[in-house]
Every structure is written in C-alpha cells, then in structure tokens.
Amino acid sequence: MNRIRSASVRPLTAVATVASLALLAGCAGSVGGDSKSDTEGSAGKGFTAGASQEDIDKALADLDPVTLKFQPSAMSENSILAPNGLDVKKAIEERSGGKITVDIVWGQAIASYADVDDALADGRVDLAFTLPSYTPAEYPAFDAIGTAMSTLPSSPVASDLAANAAGVQAAWETPEVLAEFEDKGLVPLIPMLAAGGYSTMCSKPMSSAEDWKGNQIRVGSAAAGKQVTDLGATPVSLSFPETYEALQRGTVDCDLGQLAPNVEAGTFEVAPHIGVAADAGIARSAGAITAGKKYSELPVAYQQVIFDSMSTTFSTMMEVVIGAKAKAVEEAKANDGSVEPFDDDVQKQMAKYAETLSDKTADKAGVPDAPTTLGSAAKDWQKSVSELGYDDKGDFASLDEWYPKDANYDDLGAELFDKAMAGHRPE
C-alpha cells in the first residue's frame, strides 16, 4: 500500500516545559463504526489501501474541508516529544491534500489525561494521545497487556521496538481491549503505545539487591509499585512535576520511569545514576492514540486518511523515545553519573515477580491469554526488527556513542501497519 513517510522532526536537544509521557467493535473488521456522513454521494466512498495520491484526491474532491483538534503527548512545539504531534499533523494534512487541517493543542490544554476520554467522546478534542493505564479499573484488559510488558527482554533499541510492535498487535488481537474503548465512545487508532522501557534514575547508584532496600522510589503505576515493594524498596506516588524537587531535597531517592520526559525535566542534574534492566523490566504505563465523536462522523475517506497516518505515528514515537534514551545517557555522564545494568540477583527476582504479576493481572482482567498473545507477538517482531537491521550496536552505557542521530523507523511502522493494523482500516 502507499504509506505516509513524512520527515520526522527530532529536536532532541530542546529542553522545554516538563512533558508527561508515561509515553472497534471487535478484533476483526474496521474502525469508525456504522456512522453515516451528513453528505451524500462521494462522501460515502473511500479509497483502496494502495491508492495513488491522485486517486485519494479524487475520493476527497467533493468533501468539505474539516479541522480536527489533536492533543499529542508534548507540552510545547519545542518539546523533545513535539514530533509526536508535528509528524502526525504533517502526514494527515499532506495525504488529504490540505482538506483536513490538524490544530495541535499542546500541554493537554483542553483536557488532562484524567479528562481526555470524556473530551474525545463529547467532541472537545478529536484526536489524542491518552493514558488508559492511569485508570486500570476502567481498562483492565489494556492494563493486563501493559503489565505483561514487564516479562519481555529489555535492550536499548531492538527489544523496545519489538515490544512496542507486539503491544500494538496484541491489543488489536484482544477483543476485550477494543471493547473498553468502544464502551467509552472512543475509536482506537493505535490501541496501545508502550513507548520506552522503564529505568531507575537515582541520586546514588542502585544496582544490587541491597541497594534497593529501604530506598524511596517514585513510581507511576500500581503495578510498578508492587514490583518495587517486592525488591524491598518503598514506592512513592508523586506527580511528575514534583519529582525534580523531591530528588533534589532527598525526599525520594529515585524516579522509576521513562527517560524521555526526564531529559526534558532536567532530572539528571539531581539523579544522574541510571539503572537498566536486561532480562525483564517494569510494568509500563502505556498510552494509546484514540479518536472521538467527530472522527466517527467523518466521511470514510477522511477516516482512512487519518487511520493510514498511524504508520507515521508509530515510527515517530519510536524515533523520539529511543533518541531520548541516547540523550539521557549523555546527560547522565555529563553530570558525573553512571549507567549500569541491575545485578543478576535483582534481574532474577524482577523477572520472577514480573511473570507472577502479569498472570495475576491478566486473570483478574478476564484475559488470561493476554501474556501469551503478547509474548508470541514479541518473538515474531524481534525477528522482524533484526531483519530490518535495527539490532543493538552496543550496550546501554554507550548508547550515546553508537546510536545514529538520524535513526528512522518508517520501515518498521509500515510493516506493523500491514501485518497488524490494515485489517482494521475503515471501510
């Protein structure tokens, strides 16, 4: 099929306001529901997945221009995360020949992550990066897959790419996940974006089991809190904007989370010691790209333009997330920090508890097969990632030295779209 491949903007050295990235009615068929457009004729016609731009222009020729409000994960257009919004905007506007205008709303200015589902459903926001993992009671099946992420291997590049692709596939293949969005009147465009793996960022090195004991660690999810407790540390629930000062004052010893928002927050000035997993990881606070009321009412050709842009959305997210890891390693070293893998005993304990927690969460959510679905998909995507040449070229500690600044994951995004998403394209 024709794929959108906009040039990604990667302002990896920009430091802006603190950003938060914690960043279908069934498993088959198409998204968008049965909604009818308010215009007859060509408004009800779409275009084939392999259509040329000329054919797409013809399909859209008689449609009225529309404007969509999009809330990405970034706080501003200068944010390290800004490409997650800018690239999507460019992909949709170019593919639609300018008939769809995307107005980006930075910094969750219309609706916070706690309110964005309602804002999508009532039309205040049209497209958004959302965080279903923040409300696991409302998204138990989604949370089960996010928790199962902790059982997958972890590496700077290859494993993160495979895990994210597997998360997208597993979410599409789990009817309960899609039903959770449908019950809220939402349409999943990418039903799971796991983004980057979790690391510890501490004021002092923390690699051994003894190092963990008694430490106060800021966590972003209940599942991560359980894993921290199992290792003898004390989880602390603290909003991300408060974390820098808490680390500076010694109120907490570490932050446990993704590296990208911490690059933006300047965390490595006060917590320059990074701890990373290899054999298993921490349950992720995964997000999703979802659409709301207005999308469901659009002509099918417009829905297809938007849905097809999700290939770009995925690849851009991975470019931003992994590029930020390299920047984090650079900043940790610049602040006399360290980048160390957790000791073997910590890894073994982490892996054992991750499997137990994953199975319990999946059983409780009524999706006992979710960990197996995710694990099987991850193995397949690990092979695909390697075949595409995205192997790790070194260890985490030297990521800033070997990671290419112009890394591009469009080929992976295109393959993911073909294998896992195309079957859900609006028709």
Average of per-residue pLDDT across 96-124 = 96
| pLDDT at residue 6 is higher than 80 | no
Of residues 86 and 74, the one with the higher pLDDT is: 86
pLDDT bracket for residue 408 (50, 70, 90): very high
Tens of pLDDT, residues 119-143:
999 999 999 999 998 899 999 999 9
pLDDT bracket for residue 15 (50, 70, 90): very low
Tens of pLDDT, residues 296-345:
999 999 999 999 999 999 999 999 999 999 999 999 999 999 999 999 99
Mean pLDDT of the chain: 88
Residue 44 is predicted with a pLDDT of 55
Total-model pTM? 0.87
| pLDDT at residue 364 is higher than 60 | yes
Structure tokens at 206: 């923390």
| pLDDT at residue 413 is higher than 70 | yes
CATH of domain 41-200+280-410: 3.40.190.170
Residue 106 is predicted with a pLDDT of 96
| pLDDT at residue 409 is higher than 90 | yes
Residue 22 is predicted with a pLDDT of 37
- Contact of 246 with 203, CB cutoff 8 Å: no
pLDDT bracket for residue 163 (50, 70, 90): very high
Q: d(Cα 380, Cα 168) in Å, to the nearest integer?
A: 13
pLDDT bracket for residue 197 (50, 70, 90): confident
Q: d(Cα 55, Cα 360) in Å, to the nearest integer?
A: 50
Place of tokens 């989604």: 142
Is the torsion defined by CA of 337, 343, 348, 352 positive or negative? negative
- Contact of 152 with 364, CB cutoff 8 Å: no
Residue 36 is predicted with a pLDDT of 38
Of the candidate ranges 13-22, 151-160, 210-219, 261-270, the one whose mean pLDDT is the lowest: 13-22
Percent of the chain whose pLDDT exceeds 90: 77
Q: d(Cα 86, Cα 314) in Å, to the nearest integer?
A: 13
Question: Which secondary-structure segment (H or E) carries 289?
Answer: strand 287-291
Across 12-132, where does the E strand assignment appear?
Answer: 66-71, 100-104, 127-130
Residue 239 is predicted with a pLDDT of 81
